[in-house]
Chain A
């Protein structure tokens, strides 16, 4: 009988209905908030265009980004190109970047920091209330750092080691983000000019520049080896003085020393080795530590994984730094001991972002505790007077972890102070001493790096350090500086690091 099959047909069709209902729930409930936050959602675009966008202030209330509505089109203006990569841009035509992207829903007002308000606003269909943001950065330090990089290619990252707050983060070359915000039609020409610029001004080198670190990696090597008990600050390697001249043969590969510039090889322990930046010594340290423990130690500092600035739901993504090659679960194993020995002084396949290296300095400064960085400290209700309004949410470091023990951090700190102040170190990192820039009574810790890139390419100039660094002092700033292709770290990066730290101590002191 035909009629027999009809109920089966009905059941089959009901399955179709169920699938559609599930799909609808999937989009409308499960994925809804995620989809609503996507920058190309017309609800966001429409809100962007007609509604004023929240103002972004620096830590002192200086305006970094603000919006005025002219003829129904909101125009975004940015105060200082020094902050372009950090603050980002909000273009109707080209989307958003930086903080403008990570905090978009709050700036536009589609979301409230308080989830309960969100529900009420949603139910009542209230128009978006834009929120203002207060950053941790100081616009003065930001401009100062950018001025140091002017004309060169590189980045400066400055962190408060005791809080994880970003004090300054700037990348060069930069550009004026105001030109590509505002009226979509006016934005086209400057946008395409920037896109064709061979200097790649869109790249935030502080977060996404991945460089060979060179000798600044020795700080990581020393800390990891001390922490694992592989060495003490007094450990020496009897064959080292001879190898300074003849080279160290590891797995059939000869490791040579850099130009010691007249310094006679001797039996060095940690402090002089750090001062002179001995590749042979740190190759030994790395071999002493071993392949697996080296990776573990570097990973504790944040290598081998993606990092971020700020809380997970408003994160500025930071490219992963690596010791070998990145795989799904972290860094793959070393090929052999020769690679380990080279990695121990920051060559081979080691790469790092300036932010990662600033975190290394900050961790040593903060007695071995690494505080995850953050850059937005407050969300505030908009205030018509143009000053920051009522605080609706505050943020601090999204988390801290002990990377090395206070004893290890203390030993590395002492070696880094010697690298700036010690008799052997002065020719290398001495230029970073804040005393050179008018700050007295304070010691500086630091380490330079001259990252070889192979071939005839000039090396990258690196510096990491912190101040005040004398025993018992509370360090208020940790920095990482890179200048691409600018030669030895001692010549270019170290003076910039010193000036930035000195400027901060002057600003804090006043």
Chain B
């Protein structure tokens, strides 16, 4: 008889263990859903553009290190005040470089600057496609292209 009771107890505990497993899965499912909603909201708020430039190094005041600059499909960089992104750096030319988004990827081209435009440590000779995560140096200002 006690054996029978023990078996009942073990059965109850086994069912309890399985139930707990599925409670855990349910909570994961709920957390996943909540997170998805929140992520959509965040994305809507902060990720409207096609990309952005993070300023990693900048000797001048403008732009300041750590700034995150949203960029449009045609973005020019240079010391000229009419550039989309103004660089307060004497090593930069007036109209130094241009970033263009063409279909699937970002391209950077040098606008015949004095000191050149550098991607991942290489000076570019012609328009070059960029990957997210590539580092771009214009004058002495160093950027990283991000999504």
Contacts and interface: CB of A to CB of B under 8 A. Distances in A.
Interface stretch (B2-10, B109-117, B121-129): B2-10
13 contacts: A1-B104, A2-B132, A3-B147, A123-B11, A124-B4, A124-B7, A124-B8, A124-B11, A125-B7, A125-B10, A125-B11, A126-B4, A126-B7
Contacts of A124: 4, 7-8, 11
Contacts of B4: 124, 126
Nearest to B7: A124
Interface size class of A (residues with CB under 8 A): under 10
A3 B104 CA distance: 12
A3 B146 CA distance: 13
Contacts of B8: 124
B6 to A, nearest CB: 10
Contacts of A1: 104
Contacts of B147: 3
Interface of A: 1-3, 123-126
B36 to A, nearest CB: 12
A50 to B, nearest CB: 16
A125 B5 CA distance: 11
Nearest to B8: A124
A124 B6 CA distance: 9
Contacts of B7: 124-126
Chain B interface secondary structure, helix, strand, loop or mixed? helix
Nearest to A121: B7
A2 B10 CA distance: 50
A1 B104 CA distance: 7
Contacts of B104: 1
A2 B146 CA distance: 13
A392 to B, nearest CB: 20
A1 B50 CA distance: 10
Nearest to A4: B104
A137 to B, nearest CB: 37
A213 to B, nearest CB: 56
A3 B43 CA distance: 13
Nearest to B50: A1
Interface string B1-36: 000100110110000000000000000000000000
A-B complex: 5 closest residue pairs judged by Cβ atoms: A124-B7, A125-B7, A123-B11, A124-B11, A126-B7
A2 B132 CA distance: 10
Interface in B74-110: 104
A2 B8 CA distance: 54
Contacts of A3: 147
A166 B10 CA distance: 45
Contacts of B10: 125
A11 to B, nearest CB: 16
A126 B11 CA distance: 11
Given A3-B147, A125-B7, 9 more contacts: A1-B104, A123-B11, A124-B7, A124-B8, A124-B11, A125-B10, A125-B11, A126-B4, A126-B7
A3 to B, nearest CB: 7
B145 to A, nearest CB: 13
A487 B30 CA distance: 84
A126 to B, nearest CB: 7
A1 B132 CA distance: 10
A123 B4 CA distance: 11
B146 to A, nearest CB: 12
Nearest to B105: A1
B28 to A, nearest CB: 14
B73 to A, nearest CB: 15
A118 to B, nearest CB: 15
Nearest to B147: A3
A1 B105 CA distance: 8
A31 B94 CA distance: 77
Contacts of A126: 4, 7
Nearest to A1: B104
A398 to B, nearest CB: 36
Interface in B47-67: none
Nearest to A123: B11
Contacts of A2: 132
A302 to B, nearest CB: 47
Nearest to A125: B7
B32 to A, nearest CB: 12
A459 B75 CA distance: 106
Contacts of B11: 123-125
A152 to B, nearest CB: 54
A3 B4 CA distance: 57
Contacts of A125: 7, 10-11
A29 to B, nearest CB: 15
Nearest to B4: A124
A416 B128 CA distance: 105
Contacts of B132: 2
A192 B147 CA distance: 76
A126 B7 CA distance: 8
